[in-house]
Structures are given as structure tokens and as C-alpha cells.
Structure 1
Amino acid sequence: MNDIIALIQREFIYVWYYFEIQLRQIFMYWIIGMAIGSLISVFAKDKIHGAFARLQGKKLGLLGIIPACILGILSPLCMYGTIPIAASFRKQGMREDWLAAFMMASILLNPQLIIYSAALGMTVLAIRIVTCFLCGCAAGILMFIFYRDKEYFNFEGFEERANHDTHPNLLIRYLLNFLRNIKATGLYFFIGILLSALFQRYIPQNVMVNMFGGNKAWGVLMAATIGVPLYACGGGTIPLLQSWLLDGMSLGSASAFMITGPATKITNLGALKISMGWKHFALYIVFIMLFSFFSGMIVNSIF
């Protein structure tokens, strides 16, 4: 009995060692990401969405997907915030290709996630920003080619959510938003660090190299596939990616995971299915898997 207790204590110390190291490495990125995200949400969100709405009066044609993607990335909203906003834009007559580019980019990336991803290094951060931007552009281009005169989205029943940032005191308004961010992401963040510590303790490095390493198409495909069920929160996956990259995950595999993860986040798929219908939802999943795979292969060929 004493041997079992000693074994449990020893394993706890090992896991805590890995947990504490990674927590120190990325905790500040998480805090700074939430702080900047709350600043944008409280003081710049309406300006960003207003800028997108004003695109409607400009004769940019297909090139309008470029500012649409940029504004989508700058938007601090999650999926459940993005879809009602997109619904309101659609009612105002926004083009489907611009709308698709904005939504795709907004789903994949936001200012908070950019800061979180800096913990993975500048190369990975640059890959994430570029691939997410290109994925939004690709969504807009495909919408322009195949759905120029058709409706792809069905936003019936989606109404814009009530604005929680209404306190008359700006400092309190900011702090309340910051606390909501902590509540929304904190649990996933610490679970992600715990999972990373468990991976480091119990999964041999050669397993990760064989699964995700090198320039093999199999590694990219596996990373794209596990991004579907494993991704729960952007901040929560950063510790896992950091651990996997150290263990030999290729940059292309990481890129594929960073596309499929947020794009097919389990908690968001229901809302996506409702806003698209089964046929268009299936096309969306196929697009995400293909884009993540081929972009991952391209990243591996470059790096």
C-alpha cells in the first residue's frame, strides 16, 4: 500500500513539474491576450463592424474579400457572436462572398488568439495569421465562383446578441469584459496545460515524431483530423501545440491543426449547420479539411 502511495506521489510531482513549467511559459500570453481582446471588444468592436458594413457601398468587386478577411480577424467575437452579426449584415444586403470571407476569418482567428499563439514562436504565429487569412480569401473566392447568384447562408432565427458592454463607467465596463473572458477561457486554458503535462510525461517523443513529424502527408492529415474532436478553446490548445512542436510535430501539421480546430469546434458546429443547412454544411467541412491538408503540405514544403 505504501508503495502505491509513493508511486502516486512521485507521478504527481512529475506531472506538476511539467505543468508548472508550461504555466510559467505561457501564462502571460494568456493574460495579455485577454487584456487586449477586452480592449478591442469594449472600445473598437463597433468600429470594426461599422467598417465592414461601410464596405457595402464601395465598388471593390471580388477584391472586397481582402478587407473583409482583415476585419474578420480583427473582430473579437467568437462563433456565436459572429453568426448573429453576419445575419444583420446579410439583411443589409452584404455580398455573400464578402460575408463568407469575413465569417471564415473571424471564426479562425481573433486578436486574443494572435497573442496566445505568440507563445509558439514568431514563425508559427506568422504561419497561423497567413493561413487563416488565405482560408478566408479562399472561402470568399469559392463563394463568388459557385454562389454568385445563389444564397448559401440561412440566417433565419439568428438575431444579434445583446451587448453586455453597457456599464456607464468605462473602467468597470472593461473589467467586466475581462472577467467574462477569464470565465470563458480559464478552465480550457488550465485543462490544456494539464493535458500537455500528461502528454510530456506519458507519451514518448518518438510517438509524436512518427505521428506528426517530418514532411509526410500522413502527419498533416492526422493533425487536421484530430483538430476536429480535440479543439475546445483557442487558449487551451496552445499548451498542447507547444508540447507537440517540441516533441517533433512539423509546422505543416501544426498549421493543419490550427485550421480545422477552430473551424470545426464541436460547440459551434450546431450553429453552423443551422445557418447553412445540411448540404452547404457538408461542403464547408470538405472545404476545411482540404484547405487545411494542402496548406499544411505547402507549409512543410517551405519550412
Structure 2
Amino acid sequence: MQKLKSGVHFAATDLIKDISTWLMIGLFFAALVQTYVETDFLAKWGGSIWSMLMMVAISVPMYICATASTPIAAGLLMSGISPGAVLVFMLAGPATNVATLGVVGKELGKRSLIAYLTGVVGTAIVFGLLTDFLVTTYGFSVQPLSAGEHEILPHWLSISSAIVLALLMAKYYWNKVITVFTQRSLAH
């Protein structure tokens, strides 16, 4: 019971402190990308290396989990983007968002961050090129299924978890503001 208690305390304090700012930055960039980048713009690049590099540029700042990237990937496939470029999005997006990169850089250093980013992006592009090669060589039909909704967690649990996360982040920022004001008032 003590281990469970200390794990929950760590998640509600130290982990929130480590990810809050990066999560907010990631959500900001994700909103910018989703608002200002049209899928028609990406579809014209086809299955070239440029479309994959564009997917990397879009997916790196985007804060998106593997589950959330699947419907976006289906939409990208339906809009004409190559399966390889969509795979790059699905591999690079969840693994390299601004929040993750911030935490990796802070905890492991810049050198590890560059190695991590290079490994993930390089692997994603190699497998994206391989996917496009296999699709064109063997004539695979890649038709996304847009019907049906599948959830891992019940909707109420997802919403409740988001509310708890938002409250913990608000508490962290509130305490940070109070600390700054207290330090300023003590300094005067």
C-alpha cells in the first residue's frame, strides 16, 4: 500500500511538474498545425521523401498518442497521402512530441535528445520508404476503414482522467504563482 501511495504522490507532483509546461507547448503547436496545415497541401507531395519529411515536421510538435493518431492517419490516407508518409506520421508523432522531447532533453541531456530524435525519425522514414516500395511493387490495396468507433477506455474514464490532469496542472501552476509572489514580497 505504501508503494502505491508513493507512486500516486510522484505522479501527482513530480511527474506533473516535469510534463506540464512541455504538454502545454505541445498542445499549442498541435493546435497550430491542425489549424493551419491543410491535408490537400500534403497530398500533392505523394509518396516522396519530401512528403515524409513534411509529416515529420508536422508530427514532431504535435502532442498526439498512438490511439489518437489512428483516425488522423485514416483521414490522411483518404485524402490521398501515401501509406509510407502516413506510417511516418504514426511512428514519429507519438514518439516525438514537444513534451517528450522537452522531458528527454531535461532528464538525459541534449546529446541523448539528438540521438533519440535521429533514431526515431530515421527509422520512421526508412520504414515509410519501405512501405511505399512494397505497396507499389506488390500492388497492395490500402483502403482505410472509416466506419466504426473503437475505444480502449470508456468515455467517462477518458474525460475524468483529463479533468484530473487539468486540475493537477492548475494546482501546480497556482502553487508556482504563489511561490513567485511570496518570494517577491519577502524580497521587498
Matches within 5 A, 1:114-153: 114-118=101-105, 119-148=107-136, 150-151=139-140, 153=142
**TM-score when scaled to structure 1?**
0.41
Give the 3-state SS of the residue equivalent to 2:60 in structure 1: helix
CA deviation vs aligned residue, 1:266-298 (integer Å, no higher than 9, x gap):
xxxxxxxxxxxxxxxxxxxxxxxxxxxxxxxxx
CA deviation vs aligned residue, 1:2-42 (integer Å, no higher than 9, x gap):
xxxxxxxxxx7xxx7xx87xx66x65431211221232244
Does the CA-based 8 Å contact 1:73-1:111 persist in structure 2?
A: yes
1:82 has 2:64 as partner: no
The letter for the 2-side match of 1:156 is L
Does the CA-based 8 Å contact 2:83-2:132 persist in structure 1?
A: yes
The letter for the 2-side match of 1:56 is A
**Structure 2 unmatched ranges of 5 or more:** 151-160, 169-188
Given candidates 81, 106, 109, the residue that maps to 1:94 is 81
The letter for the 1-side match of 2:165 is K
Deviation at 1:143, TM superposition (A): 0.9
1:37 has 2:26 as partner: yes
- Give the 3 Å change call, closer, same or farther, for CA 58–153 of structure 1 in structure 2: closer
The letter for the 2-side match of 1:45 is Q
Does the CA-based 8 Å contact 1:33-1:113 persist in structure 2?
A: yes
**Structure 1 unmatched ranges of 5 or more:** 1-11, 162-178, 187-303
Q: Which residue of 2 aligns with 1:264?
A: none
Given candidates 87, 90, 104, the residue that maps to 1:103 is 90
Aligned pair count reads: 151
Q: Which residue of 1 aligns with 2:57?
A: 70
Does the CA-based 8 Å contact 1:88-1:160 persist in structure 2?
A: no
- Give the 3 Å change call, closer, same or farther, for CA 100–44 of structure 1 in structure 2: closer
Does the CA-based 8 Å contact 1:97-1:140 persist in structure 2?
A: yes
How big is the alpha-carbon RMSD for the aligned residues of Structure 1 and Structure 2?
3.6
1:156 has 2:145 as partner: yes
Deviation at 1:65, TM superposition (A): 1.6
Q: Which residue of 1 aligns with 2:44?
A: 57
Does the CA-based 8 Å contact 1:77-1:106 persist in structure 2?
A: yes
The letter for the 1-side match of 2:129 is I
Task: State the distance in 2 between where 1:75 and 1:121 align.
Answer: 21
Identity of aligned residues (%): 14
Does the CA-based 8 Å contact 2:55-2:88 persist in structure 1?
A: yes
Give the 3-state SS of the residue equivalent to 1:94 in structure 2: coil
Greater RCO (CA < 8 Å, at least 6 residues apart): 2
Task: State the distance in 1 between where 2:56 and 2:30 align.
Answer: 18
Q: Which residue of 1 aligns with 2:185?
A: none
CA deviation vs aligned residue, 1:184-222 (integer Å, no higher than 9, x gap):
9x8xxxxxxxxxxxxxxxxxxxxxxxxxxxxxxxxxxxx
Give the 3-state SS of the residue equivalent to 2:70 in structure 1: helix
**TM-score when scaled to structure 2?**
0.63
Task: State the distance in 1 between where 2:47 and 2:144 align.
Answer: 25
Task: State the distance in 2 between where 1:82 and 1:158 align.
Answer: 16
The letter for the 1-side match of 2:50 is L
Matches within 5 A, 1:262-301: none
Does the CA-based 8 Å contact 2:66-2:94 persist in structure 1?
A: yes
Matches within 5 A, 1:208-219: none
Does the CA-based 8 Å contact 1:38-1:181 persist in structure 2?
A: no
